[in-house]
Amino acid sequence: MSSMHRIHWFDEQIRSGRFPNSGGLAQQFEISRRQAQRDIEYMLNTLRAPLMYVAKYRGYCYEDQTFRLPHLYMTDEEQRVLKYLAHRYQHYNYDQSDAVKRVAHLLERFTMEEHPSEKQQFPVFAAQPRQLQWFELLTHATADARKVHIYYKDHEGEHQRTFCPVKMTSQFNADYVVGYETDPLQQTAIRLESIVQLTLLDERFECSQDTWISSWEDTLPVRKPFVAEIRFREIQQSELWQGYRIREQKDQVCLIEFYDADVFLQHLYAAEWEELLSPGWLRRKLMKRVEEMTERLSRGTNGGEQDG
């Protein structure tokens, strides 16, 4: 249930002379008392509702009876877009980051749900500040048809190119910039995560849409997803595990699809789970990472003991 739905209920209770409070709001919508209080604070601070607490009735009324809530209607698609923008803005740590994060907080309030339904669950993306910066610069470069100097690393090694970025796209939970060096028909897709340095150049390029006919999708990795077998403490109640699709579930054991092993390993570091049953190569990869991390921590501990 969205916060705006709860706020409209609270408003109706006030107009009916029932003096609602946070406890009644929490009970009506089966949410926490803290969440209910946040809804009331949102009415006060953002919607500028003239709320006044009446101790005698242990609830709220309006000091100004002429006050009306703004009519805010939003489709599910609009809510998903705002939620994604809020997520991205929250991870922005560059110029004017404080102002950007205030916008993120405002967007989040419009899309806040205490118990989202399975159909409305939104995938989780790993948005790093540097990657957001590349996205912003490249979006500007594609709009102005400006060349960029790009230095990136991939499985083939290190590369430096003067690049004509034409299109931003996403595939398998990863962002790519599609462009070319000299021939518009020789397209290349570069993953944003692999970019080390990026500089916008003053030089511009021309690329007619009539000549942009070859398939840039051919440059992206097309493959079937990997599948991890994971045992959880409890049965999962949706078709997604924090953004990853659950292909099959039997009791507490789930088959979960993923495309990027490194990104999935990062997710395993932070998520809650009981046992990684398969595949074996992923188990070994995870164990190696953990052993390397443990070894580094041990070196630091030993050095500290010697210093003492």
Q: What is the pLDDT of residue 111?
A: 57
- Look up the domain containing 40 and give its range: 3-62
Q: What is the pLDDT of residue 258?
A: 84
Residue 189 has pLDDT above 80, yes or no: yes
* Reported pTM: 0.38
Structure confidence by residue, pLDDT tens digits, 104-142: 666 665 555 544 444 444 444 545 667 777 888 888 888
Going across the sheet that includes 240-241, the strands are 240-241, 244-250, 253-258, 226-231, 275-278
CATH code for the domain in which residue 25 is found: 1.10.10
Residues 290 and 209 in one domain: no
CB 180 within 8 A of CB 219: no
Q: Distance between CA 254 and CA 185 in Å, rounded?
A: 43
The answer to the question of residue 123 being in a domain is no
Residue 27 has pLDDT above 50, yes or no: yes
Residue predicted with more confidence, 299 or 139: 139
Residue 103 has pLDDT above 70, yes or no: no
Residues 140 and 215 in one domain: yes
Q: Distance between CA 163 and CA 205 in Å, rounded?
A: 10
Residue 65 has pLDDT above 70, yes or no: yes
Residues 166 and 213 in one domain: yes
The answer to the question of residue 122 being in a domain is no
The answer to the question of residue 259 being in a domain is yes
CB 165 within 8 A of CB 179: yes
Sign of CA dihedral 15, 17, 21, 25: negative
Counting residues of the chain whose pLDDT is more than 70, the rounded percentage is 69
Residue 214 has pLDDT above 50, yes or no: no
Angle in degrees, CA 37, 43, 47, rounded to 5: 160
The answer to the question of residue 124 being in a domain is no
Can you tell me the mean pLDDT for 20-37?
89
Structure confidence by residue, pLDDT tens digits, 249-287: 999 999 998 877 877 888 888 788 999 999 999 999 899
- Reported confidence tier of residue 303, pLDDT bands at 50, 70, 90: low
Residues 136 and 214 in one domain: yes
- Reported confidence tier of residue 22, pLDDT bands at 50, 70, 90: very high
Q: What is the pLDDT of residue 239?
A: 83
